[in-house]
Amino acid sequence: MLRIAQTLDAQLRVAMERAFPQVAAQPDGPGFDPQLAPASKPEFGDFQANGALPLAKPLGQAPRAIAAAIVEQLQGQPAFTELCLEPQIAGPGFINLTLRPERLADEVQLRLGDPRLGVPPVQGAAPVVVDFSSPNIAKEMHVGHLRSTIIGDSLARVLEFRGHPVLRLNHVGDWGTQFGMLITHLKQVAPEALSTADAVDLGDLVAFYRQAKARFDDDEAFQTTSREEVVKLQGGDPVSRQAWQLLCDQSRREFQKIYDRLAIRLSERGESFYNPYLEAVVADLDASGLLVTDDGARCVFLEGVSGKDGKPLPVIVQKSDGGFNYATTDLAAIRYRFAAAPEGDGARRVIYVTDAGQANHFAGVFQVARRAGWLPDGGRLEHVPFGLVQGEDGKKLKTRAGDTVRLRDLLDEAVERAEADLRRRLAEEGRSEEEAFIQHVATTVGLAAVKYADLSQNRITNYQFSFDRMLALQGNTAPYLLYAVVRIAGIARKGGDLAGGEAADAPLIFTEPQEWALVRELLRFDAVIAEVEEELLPNRLCTYLFELSQVFNRFYDQVPVLKAEPEARPPRLALCRLTADTLKLGLGLLGIPTLERM
């Protein structure tokens, strides 16, 4: 009901200005804010306006008297009386607004023919960069990459749906001193890899990385050679570059298997991409007067951020040995992403999806970028932090051996458990299904359960990973939502016309409380999407879809649909169709496909 809310807000402002022209005439006065919000309880109507309360002190009047004056002006607006029933004043001066039933029915009718389900595209959309996933080369993706990958993907989907041009960037760790170590080890223990394609696979590379790190920690000669190799790599030595490229290509192929499995689209732009821009970052900060040399290092001291000694903390941009670090690369990335094309991406909003442990790092880097003047007017730079994935014991999720859980192993187990649960239910119901059906349902449900269990949590907090909870058919889970879609598909299989052919031109008339409850829940979708777009909290969409499924199930259980009276059947089928469309679209924005049968 986003459009209706905007209309009501405008009407309330007009009413307030007419009721209190003395306030409207004050250039430095309190102004008018209706403070319009959805009603907190159904008995209060559809919307509640609380704008009378803050006017009490400047006007020297009781809030209820102010509310009465606003209501009087509202009722003098024909456009308002066509939209709402008579307003009610409650408590100290709240104005409760209830939409006319015929207007609610009209909104349902409009959404039935709208593939966007009432969500308007943004006007004047500007490019948005969403930086997420970001694994490191020569390492396997583990459970720690799960949250960044699926939170970032869902936010990108919502922004794309709203009409923003979104650049999905995978800022992989493909540069830095660790490659000197890896390349040296590769040249010494697997020289054939430099002349034979696919001589090393990622599984080998993970062990390979550990071996190289152990040598680097224990062998001074190896350390020296590794540091020399970094210089060669940065200088463009062809053999070193070939070894680096091999390591990157092998890793990318394994990463892509995970992304394909989770239906994640990404454009890779690793740390190496920004290497040519690092010197310009230093020059820019120097020219702006921000750069300070401290103990040989070049840095920017942060404003309002102090260390334990009370002195401002620095962001080191260039180390005393002339080298650069992660902060330099991140600054180069921000500078490039906001720069106008063709020198950059021309973004107006840049979003970083990383664990909460990097919050201080990004706060510092963001401050430096803002002070350097790299953000255009209206440019937004946002960190989307998330908590840890924990085991059911509340500790960091690990294998029994104490190792970090590999992401592919976690996904495999989710699908295997979903398959076992499905086969058990089929046996209990005496159903016989083809193997292809079982595999498709198990894969869809297993991966959906993992995604939804993560996205349904407030991303800022840690959450406890439990296969049993996430695969349950009851509660706020993916299987529960998927089953609601399946239930509606079953109506069509039993002869219900969900395509809208039954009395398509007849007005939608609803009479039952359960119908109106479902109508109002369905019409909340557009406001929820706008909220996720702004606040970047996917769990708000999950909560809405769960609540919609609950309201639909109560409607379906308490009100006949297929056996309804002839005049009641088409409107109820329309509600079923709109519910299915809303669940499919909402789950799709979370990266979760739906099923017709399960």
* pLDDT, tens digit (0-9, with 9 covering 90-100), for 451-476: 999 999 999 988 888 889 999 989 99
Cis before 342? omega within 30: yes
- Is 200 inside any structural domain? yes
Residue 77 has pLDDT above 90, yes or no: no
pLDDT (average), residues 11-23? 88
Phi-psi label, residue 506: left if phi above 0, alpha if psi -120 to 50, beta otherwise: beta
Last residue of a domain, one of 386, 406, 430: 386
The CATH number for 68's domain is 3.30.1360.70
- Is 525 inside any structural domain? no
pLDDT at position 558 is 95
Q: Count how many domains the chain has.
A: 3
- Is 37 inside any structural domain? yes
Are 119 and 111 in contact by the 8 Å Cβ rule? The answer is no
Last residue of a domain, one of 353, 386, 419: 386
The reply to whether 299 and 262 lie within a common domain is: no
CA dist 285 and 305 (Å) reads 19
Percent of the chain with pLDDT over 70: 95
pLDDT tens digits for range 413-438: 999 999 999 999 999 999 999 999 99
CA dist 2 and 530 (Å) reads 8
First-last CA distance in the chain: 32
Last residue of a domain, one of 386, 410, 425: 386
The reply to whether 307 and 228 lie within a common domain is: no
Helix 569-589 / helix 478-493 crossing angle, nearest 10 deg: 140
- Is 140 inside any structural domain? no
pLDDT tens digits for range 482-511: 999 999 999 988 877 777 665 566 789 999
The reply to whether 238 and 321 lie within a common domain is: no
- Is 155 inside any structural domain? no
- What range does the domain containing 379 cover? 292-386
- Is 575 inside any structural domain? no
pLDDT at position 195 is 72
pLDDT (average), residues 78-98? 93
- Is 485 inside any structural domain? no
pLDDT at position 139 is 81
